[in-house]
Amino acid sequence: MKTAILCEAPHHVATVYSPSVLAHLKELTDSDGVRYSKADVLAKPEKFADTEYVFSTWGMPSFTEAEIKACLPSLKCVFYAAGSVQAFARPFLNCGVKVFSAWAANAVPVAEYTVAQIILAGKDFFCQSRLLSVEDRVTADARRGSHIGNYRKMIGLIGCGMIGSLVAEMLKAYDLEVLAFDPFMSPEKAERLGVTPCSLEEVFASCSVVSNHLANNPQTQKMLTYRHFSAMRPYATFINTGRGAQVVEADLIRALTERPDLVALLDVTDPEPSPAGYPFYHLPNCFVTPHIAGSLGCEVTRMAEYMVTEYETFIAGKTCRYEVTPTMLETMA
């Protein structure tokens, strides 16, 4: 069996690999359409001795280099129909196995969600709707002023990886000025995205909306502090669809408490979900959603489609788009 579906989560395989995608995969390969677990591989390594291609999604098991060499000696590629590969990729890469990820597919709904929030934040939608839900029109009217609107507003992006870059591309449809903090971004990329590179401090101090898209790694944890949040413009909005660990949450809570004009839109927290009674749930200028920006529902099938297409590209000997390299692991989510 040269092609196998390997995953510890049967429900994820069933949703990500839709019947049509699975049928297409069977047409292209000798896959039997059965989901196998790591235990299956370890129990009968001879069954997987000739496996060259593995397809997976959320729930991809981790293997040691010794296990890969012993149980999957013929493996050439892992096609991961999900985003981050940090939990399993390194041993495969060290064994010479190529790893492909659908992070670009997962970036699409996050970017769409973020752009929608940016535009709504510009109109003060979140606070206005909350105030009117309790019939507090006086406070709602008091918030309306020259800060309302999106025409030529300055928007700040923290991180211009796959998601941040896609957000920048989508924002070209609007009459906005976009600043971006990303120490790894080249001048050529900044010009292509139509963003102005600047420091993290400038992003927070200058922009009406600041959106976090930093890669999640030890260097970015607790990177966003009170110094940044307290410097935000009047009525500015902070959006986090990155990771909660990148924010010193006590500092954000302090800033939101001291400055009721500020708004935070948090799709991620640390821990996730926040414990019962946590201030994020009760601050009137904080809006929490349960990590819904990424691929959900009908959107998850896109990730499998990307990986099946990537397989076809690889087999045809063409240049693949979504290969993950060891160097990329140092900066990507």
332 pLDDT higher than 80: no
Rounded to whole angstroms, the Cα distance separating 120 from 114 reads 10
Closest of 296, 331, 274, 328 to residue 110, by C-alpha:
296
Would you state the pLDDT for residue 218? 85
Share of the chain above pLDDT 90, in %: 93
Banded pLDDT at 329 (limits 50, 70, 90): confident
Residue 216 has pLDDT above 90, yes or no: no
- Indicate if the pLDDT at residue 307 is higher than 80: yes
Over range 110-133, report the average pLDDT. Answer: 97
**pLDDT given for residue 83 in this prediction:** 87
- pLDDT surpasses 80 at 331: no
As a whole number, the mean pLDDT across the chain is: 96
pLDDT surpasses 90 at 146:
no
204 — pLDDT class (breaks 50, 70, 90): very high
Per-residue HEC secondary structure of the chain comes to CCEEEECCCHHHHHHHCCHHHHHHHHHHCCCCCCEECHHHHHHCHHHHCCCCEEEECCCCCCCCHHHHHHHCCCCCEEEECCCCCCCCHHHHHHCCCEEEECHHHHHHHHHHHHHHHHHHHHCCHHHHHHHHHCCCHHHHHHHCCCCCCCCCCEEEEECCCHHHHHHHHHHCCCCCEEEEECCCCCHHHHHHHCCEECCHHHHHHHCCEEEECCCCCCCCCCCECHHHHCCCCCCCEEEECCCHHHECHHHHHHHHHHCCCCEEEECCCCCCCCCCCCHHHCCCCEEECCCCCCCCHHHHHHHHHHHHHHHHHHHCCCCCCCEECHHHHCCCC
Average pLDDT of the residues in 24-52: 96
pLDDT band at residue 131 using 50, 70 and 90 as cut-offs: very high
- State the average pLDDT over residues 40-65: 97
Looking at residue 1, what is its pLDDT?
A: 79
Band of residue 38 on the pLDDT scale cut at 50, 70, 90: very high
In this predicted model, what pLDDT tens digit does every residue of 221-277 receive, in sequence order? 999 999 999 999 999 999 999 999 999 999 999 999 999 999 999 999 999 999 999
Tokens 């809570």, residue located: 253
Average pLDDT over residues 143-162: 94
Domains of the chain: 3-101+297-329 (3.40.50.720), 107-288 (3.40.50.720)
pLDDT, tens digit, 9 for 90 and up, residues 61-104:
999 999 999 999 999 999 999 988 999 999 999 999 999 999 99
| Residue 100 pLDDT | 98
Q: pLDDT tens digits for 172-186?
A: 999 999 999 999 999
Do the strands 77-80 and 53-56 form a parallel or antiparallel pair, or are they unpaired? parallel
Sheet holding 53-56, edge to edge: 35-36, 3-6, 53-56, 77-80, 98-101, 323-324
d(CA 204, CA 181): 10
